[in-house]
Chain A
């Protein structure tokens, strides 16, 4: 048992840490938020130059050959800076799905383009009626000669507004809720029949509602076997959940640090408010929740190679813990900052928004506790 980072992981941590510290200041981030795209192309190029876009991909593909712990390290660093670039959408959600399902030609084309920073992707999986259930897919893909015709609606597609390419999950067989019959397609975002309604999300990101009406794609747009995307999709979503948990962990750490600094400085009744026991105990509870999230995120990140049921159990537990503990940390941070915590100009308010809203991406606390409930009999004897 060993919780230390190895040399490569430490290097990765330092790389991301330095980038975030030096260039991703609060003011710099605010400028990025105000831009049209909602992220910085310059920053994206820096990610590419530093090799960050290749973290989860094999060395043969030009990647870093990273697993859960490596993604965790990167995402924690991003969380500390509230990085808004489409890393999760492009690299984790789309890139690893293409890597898992695609044939050699597809991988050669798209994974390389992702690692190089040339192409940005979004995964269009969830639908308006499905909430957090990725099997509730009504979007259809009907065989049409050598290709397919896709029709349907996709909801709150992370960075779907600006992506060059979409990975669309569509049904080639069965009904909404079925695990079988899901297929993944690469669809150019500007293809005929694709309509995107982009918007900002309250946690500083961008997303889109996407309508596909009779979108024609070639046969080589299909990733993997027709109707057999579910296992790869779930493994990909699990990676996304680890990334989000780690991002939450990094953001919670900063929220705790900023709050602690504030209560040491802020004077009322002639003393720093951190002298008051009522506030001290709340601060301790924040730190305790942070430790829980750090711990269970490590557990999740180290469980990618566990049997599928155990992997899902641990990852859902981690996401549920993030939902529960994150809310506590975010709310307490605002409360301890008092009126200043309510202000847009106070950085901690941005951390609080991101931490709370991470619960709404890819399944909230109740959803993942529900998953955990179905796996309650899976033995989780550590190690």
Chain B
């Protein structure tokens, strides 16, 4: 038993650090670290830099242009990226639809879509949830009816993250309304630019931000060659994604970076002439978070090491999702408290990437309450934490 990285792993970490030091644009890192709004162009610019290095497709096999990295290497990379303030790669293309195409797609689909994803030619979004199908995803109603060499799609998707920028959407659609819930679903790729009948409407979240959308399909014609896998076997694709490479789901790197920032803030903020970090209640909560983070990191590493040894992280990743999101939410709660009364001013313009000040309160305080409310989503999306508990209950505990 040895919790230390091997010399090879340490050398890899140095290589990643060197790359981030040289290639991560300072203006983007600044926005990430100061929690400013990131634009589409920021994400695309960073993805192109990663792709040039061959490091965008973390989880793909090498033959398709992936890194071919081991789980520990991926873990190191993700942690270093978070610490350096690299923006999150848009997951919908490279980490979600691509693995499905690699696993279930035709040669033509692979040849067409995978290089475009690597080059960031397409901005993908996810068409899973519907107004009536959230946790009960298989209850989805969006219909796709075969008509010659096309499907005609009608229905509505919702919570479509960053769909306002997207030109492609992958959808779960119902192709057999008479089959059992999970058995009549298909996995369809839809071009949002070229297709007629698609409407994207913004949904404004409680922090005033436009991150998610609803997408309406009105007699949208989709070529049959856009079907991935077999007709009515879409649920298999969806399930595959749920267990695919989720060891990063705990967000340990993000939490570590956030905690380091929080400590720095707590040293600077004064309470009655003393740094906030010396205030006993705040300090006790900080220590508790630090303890939980140490436990989470080791739990994550144990899962990563098991994956390295060939084990498939299945339901274990549900533990990581719950623990990781609870911790990230706790940290945003502490940030809110660190700001004190200056968590109150709601000035969305202060979160713009090009805002130069002056700020109403301390600079860090501008985003804390918004982020706290925004991060409530963490325990809801990606399978709510209650759904994760159902999965563990069934798959691990056999209840």
Interface residues of A (CB under 8 A from B): 1-6, 9, 69, 260, 263-264, 274-275, 277, 280-281, 283-285, 287-288, 291-296, 298-299, 301-303, 314, 317, 320-321, 324, 369-370, 372-373, 376-377, 380, 382-383
Number of contacts between A and B (CB, 8 Å)? 135
Nearest-CB residue, chain B, relative to A281: B389
Point out which of A263, A295, A314 has the most chain B C-beta atoms below 10 A from its C-beta. A295
Contact A383 B3 (CB under 8 A): yes
Contact A372 to B305, CB < 8 A, known contacts A1-B6, A284-B389: no
Shortest CB distance A10–B (Å): 11
B301 cross-chain contacts in A, Cβ below 8 A: 1, 3, 295, 382
A376 cross-chain contacts in B, Cβ below 8 A: 263, 277, 283, 286-287, 290
Contact of B287 among A287, A314, A372 (CB under 8 A): A372
A287 cross-chain contacts in B, Cβ below 8 A: 319, 392, 396-397
Contact of A280 among B10, B305, B389 (CB under 8 A): B389
In whole angstroms, what is the CA distance A301 to B298 when docked? Answer: 12
Contact B5 A298 (CB under 8 A): no
Contact of B1 among A2, A277, A281, A372 (CB under 8 A): A2
Nearest-CB residue, chain B, relative to A9: B1
Chain A contact residues: over half helix, strand or loop, or mixed?
helix
We find that the number of chain B residues with CB closer than 8 angstroms to chain A is 42
Contact A1 B294 (CB under 8 A): no
Q: Is B193 an interface residue (CB 8 A)?
A: no
B6 cross-chain contacts in A, Cβ below 8 A: 1
Contact of A284 among B263, B292, B392 (CB under 8 A): B392
In whole angstroms, what is the CA distance A3 to B295 when docked? Answer: 14
Nearest-CB residue, chain B, relative to A286: B397
Nearest-CB residue, chain B, relative to A69: B1
Q: Is B284 an interface residue (CB 8 A)?
A: yes
In whole angstroms, what is the CA distance A298 to B323 when docked? Answer: 18
In whole angstroms, what is the CA distance A224 to B330 when docked? Answer: 47
A264 cross-chain contacts in B, Cβ below 8 A: 398-399
Q: Is B182 an interface residue (CB 8 A)?
A: no
Shortest CB distance A138–B (Å): 27
Contact A321 to B305, CB < 8 A, known contacts A280-B393, A283-B397, A376-B263: no
Closest 6 interchain pairs by CB?
Answer: A295-B298, A292-B295, A280-B393, A383-B5, A295-B299, A296-B295
What 1/0 mask marks residues of chain B from 296 to 311 whose CB sits below 8 Å from any chain A CB? 1111011001100100
Contact A1 to B2, CB < 8 A, known contacts A274-B399, A369-B291, A382-B301: yes
Shortest CB distance A58–B (Å): 20
Shortest CB distance A197–B (Å): 35
Contact B1 A302 (CB under 8 A): yes
Instruction: Name B375-399 residues within 8 Å CB distance of A.
Output: 386, 389-390, 392-393, 396-399
Contact B386 A1 (CB under 8 A): no
In whole angstroms, what is the CA distance A372 to B5 when docked? Answer: 24
Q: Is B52 an interface residue (CB 8 A)?
A: no
Contact B322 A3 (CB under 8 A): no
6 residue pairs bridging A and B, Cβ less than 8 Å apart: A3-B1, A3-B305, A274-B397, A284-B397, A295-B299, A298-B3
In whole angstroms, what is the CA distance A380 to B259 when docked? Answer: 12
Q: Is B349 an interface residue (CB 8 A)?
A: no
Contact A292 to B5, CB < 8 A, known contacts A280-B390, A321-B291, A376-B286: no
Contact A292 to B397, CB < 8 A, known contacts A1-B6, A2-B2: no
Contact B299 A292 (CB under 8 A): yes
Q: Is B272 an interface residue (CB 8 A)?
A: no
Q: Is B147 an interface residue (CB 8 A)?
A: no
Q: Is B15 an interface residue (CB 8 A)?
A: no
B1 cross-chain contacts in A, Cβ below 8 A: 2-6, 9, 69, 298, 301-302
In whole angstroms, what is the CA distance A264 to B397 when docked? Answer: 10
A288 cross-chain contacts in B, Cβ below 8 A: 319, 322-323
Contact B72 A314 (CB under 8 A): no
Q: Is B107 an interface residue (CB 8 A)?
A: no
